[in-house]
Amino acid sequence: MINMVAVNEIHADDLFKEFKESSITEFFRKNRAHLGYSGKLRSLTTVIHEIVTNSLDACEEAGILPEIYVRIEALGKEHYKIKCVDNGPGIPLKHISSVFGKMLAGTKFHRNVQLRGQQGIGVAGVTLFSQTTTGKPITVKTSTGKGKVNELDLMIDITKNTADILRNEEYSEYWRGTEIDAEFKGVRFTLSERGPFEYLRRTAIANPHVKITFIDPEGRKTVFDRSNQKVPTPPIPVKAHPKGLEVDELINMAKANKARKVSSFLGVAFSRMSNARIKEIQEHVSFDLNKNPRKLTWAECEEIINAIDKIKFLAPPSEGLMPIGEKQIREAVLNIVDPEFEATLTRPTKVHSGGVPFQIEVAIAFGGNAGRNIGEGTKFELMRFANKAPLLFDAGGCAITRSASSVDWKRYGIRDFENAPMTLFVNVISTHIPYTSAGKQSISEDQNLLKEIRFALMEVGRKFQIYYSRLRKAEERELKKQILRKYSAAFAAALAELANRDEEKIKKELYVIIEEKISGMDAEEENGEELDAIPQEEIMKTESE
């Protein structure tokens, strides 16, 4: 056998000379679009989004009514300075560098609880974006309310994924909260529907307990005042629900658990996992659930998953979720557009991938100021939210958009859906939102999410159908009444002549008879009108998708 070696062949050792490990910060520096910094307008809105959501989460967890001040100051062409101040609990000194200067560090990712932020990337991403566009540090001022204020200038050490503290001052002042000052270049401010103003407006809509003061680059001040004086009850961490669990998740949870038996592990690790359900699982698997969970094989975990699919479980607990509430949605969202028709709905708790609980809140507004005014007319408006945070970008690939588009709106009396004077409000709440990217502007098309959003929209669609049907029938009855009254005048004149009676008196009597007959028709139709169940063909379509 002849070993032929090409003249220009490179040995594997030479190929791997450049092999090295990169930090997560280095990755996001080169791929900042993954964090939402991909476009001048979007980048500025993303900065506001990350800072404001952090402030809201901190205030709510501390039981504080949030007050947030945001100012955007123009320093030059596509060059802005942003100041954001909140009245939250503040950040202890030892954690400031990790919060603002380290990717994948935070209080949220490891907890199964509903929060707007969940990855430990967002506000550190703001620091990274600021320094990569201006070369300057961000300034953080914070106090926990104990009479001491810490003020720091910091940047991120890209290679180490740690903070570089350039200045650290401590002084006495009785104030509590966090203030962030940072500069950004290559960004643009506009008053468009995807800009910072609209983001803050929608944040105020979905969070009626929040007060936001905003000053734009022109010096215009807008105050979005709170309409609710009560801090929402903070959600509590919950266990995963067994439904929707995947094999990989189960085997990793089993390895990390300290229980001595699989049965004990299941009872401790999952919600709604009673002794009766564990016994049912034992009947469906080929091995003893008394074995050590850390010795479970992939095949055995598959057996457990298949057994869970055959068993009925109670719906996941809702303690870990914090919906806006139908009353608050009606007050904060629908009153703003002053619609002719409105309806709100909160679906029961369900689970998506890995047993993660979620709920869907929807509202529909039709007529009045509903819809999107585009100058030459009004178009349909879809307001998307995830854990009460507005989603302004990447609508095309979002589960909410797809669900809204998949509903047969003609069935509910809306013939031209895209051009209807209608606003749909959809809020997905969950202990873990399956975003399509770290930019957190689009929800992935998980089948359980798609189905629940679709069902919720179909329910409010049926409510609109009843309203529209009544409106149409009322118009038809009014037309009948006008026609009958028109001919009754001539009939009264002829009858008065034949019966030798007063014409006006006969006419009034005929009007009373017409009114009674039409009113009787109203009562019969209302008594026979019921809210139909979701059509079977719609359910089949949803299941197949």
* DSSP code string of 391-430: E-S-GGG-HHHHHHHHS-GGGGT-S-GGGSSEEEEEEEEE
Confidence of residue 72 (pLDDT cuts 50, 70, 90): very high
Whether the per-residue pLDDT at 507 is higher than 80: the answer is no
CA-wise closest residue to 300 among 289, 310, 311: 289
Beta pairing class for 148-157 and 356-366? unpaired
pLDDT band at 109 (very low <50, low <70, confident <90, very high): very low
As a whole number of angstroms, the distance between CA 86 and CA 487 comes to 70
User: Is the pLDDT score of 179 beyond 90?
Assistant: yes
* Percentage of the chain lying above the pLDDT 70 cut: 82
Q: Which two tokens stand for residue 15?
A: 């190929």
**Tokens representing 498?**
């034949």
Quick one: pLDDT at residue 279? 93
| Percentage of the chain lying above the pLDDT 90 cut | 33
DSSP state of 316: P
* Rounded Cα–Cα distance for residues 463 and 343 (Å): 7
- At 536 the pLDDT is 47
Mean pLDDT value across residues 78-105: 87
Quick: pLDDT tens for 182-236: 999 999 999 988 899 999 999 998 888 899 999 999 999 999 998 888 887 777 7
In sequence order, the β-bridge partners of residue 183 are: 81
Q: Which amino acid is at 421?
A: P
Name the pLDDT band for 339 (thresholds 50, 70, 90). confident
Higher pLDDT, 67 or 120: 67
Instruction: Indicate if the pLDDT at residue 511 is higher than 50.
Output: yes
pTM summary value: 0.76
More confident: 286 or 415: 286
Question: Is the model's pLDDT at 65 over the cut of 60?
Answer: yes
Helix axes 536-544, 447-499, angle to 10 degrees: 160
CB 385 within 8 A of CB 428: yes
Whether the pLDDT of residue 500 is over 60: the answer is: yes
Per-residue pLDDT, 543? 47
Contact 156, 101 (CB under 8 A): yes
Domains detected in the chain: 24-224 (3.30.565.10), 247-310 (1.10.8), 326-464 (3.30.230.10), 466-544 (no CATH)
Average pLDDT over residues 151-159: 88
- Helix, strand, or coil (residue 341): strand
Q: Can you tell me the mean pLDDT for 95-114?
A: 66
Q: What is the DSSP letter of 334?
A: I
d(CA 57, CA 234): 10
pLDDT at 238: 75
Find out whether 89 and 67 touch, Cβ atoms under 8 Å: no
User: Which pLDDT score, from 0 to 100, does residue 276 have?
Assistant: 93
**Backbone angle region of 150, left / alpha / beta, with phi > 0 → left and psi within -120 to 50 → alpha:** beta
Q: Which amino acid is at 179?
A: E
Residue among 53, 23, 22, 21 at smallest CA distance from 36: 53
How many Å apart are CA 49 and CA 493, to the nearest integer?
73
Residue 523's pLDDT band, with cuts at 50, 70 and 90, is low
Sheet hosting strand 162-172, strand order edge to edge: 162-172, 148-157, 138-144, 176-185, 79-86, 67-76, 211-215, 221-224
Q: What is the pLDDT of residue 105?
A: 59
Cα 213 to Cα 52, 71, 110, 175, 241, distances in angstroms: 12, 8, 32, 18, 40
Decide if 263 contacts 289 (C-beta within 8 A).
Answer: yes
**In the prediction, which pLDDT does 305 show?**
92
What is the SS3 assignment for 290-313?
Answer: CCCHHHCCHHHHHHHHHHHHHCCC
Res. 334 pLDDT band, cuts 50 70 90: low
pLDDT band at residue 531 using 50, 70 and 90 as cut-offs = very low
Q: What angle do CA 71, 75, 77 make, to 5 degrees?
A: 120
Mean pLDDT within 124-131: 88
- Mean pLDDT, residues 165-186 taken together: 92
Pairwise pLDDT comparison (69 vs 205), residue with the higher score: 69
pLDDT at residue 21 tops 70 = no
Q: What is the mean pLDDT of the chain?
A: 82
In the predicted model, what is the mean pLDDT of residues 157-177? 87
Angle at 46 between CA 40 and CA 47, to 5 degrees: 95
Q: Out of 107-111, 128-132, 172-176, pick the least confident.
A: 107-111
